[in-house]
Structure 1
Amino acid sequence: MGLTIYLGSKLGEWLDIKFNNDDQLYYKIVTLVSVFIAIFMVIRQVINLTNKE
């Protein structure tokens, strides 16, 4: 979960630098999307674990 969020924030930083965005818009959006992806992955793993039992 942490790795997904970390990589998302690094991608957002890179996009902000590449497209010369001073507001850190890409950083905020990509980090938020990566948080949602990480939460979704954890929830899906918990559901799979509970269904196997």
Structure 2
Amino acid sequence: MKDYTKGDIIGVYIKEEYQDVNVKDKTVIDCGATIRDSVIYFSLKGVKRVMAIA
């Protein structure tokens, strides 16, 4: 599994660091969601539900 510690906007949208994570129809919990860019990315990838905890 890749190292998913960065989670910045460039990593999420340009480098697509989460592209190997299958989130379609699943629930994603984003702990430490400050900018919420990951939440938007996963929503675009077809998650069933996203829970963001800042």
Structure 1 or 2: more helix by fraction? 1
Same fold (TM over 0.5): no
- TM value normalised by structure 2: 0.28
| More RCO (CA 8 Å, sep 6+) | 1
Larger Rg, first or second structure (1 or 2): 1
Using the size of structure 1 for normalisation, the TM-score is: 0.29
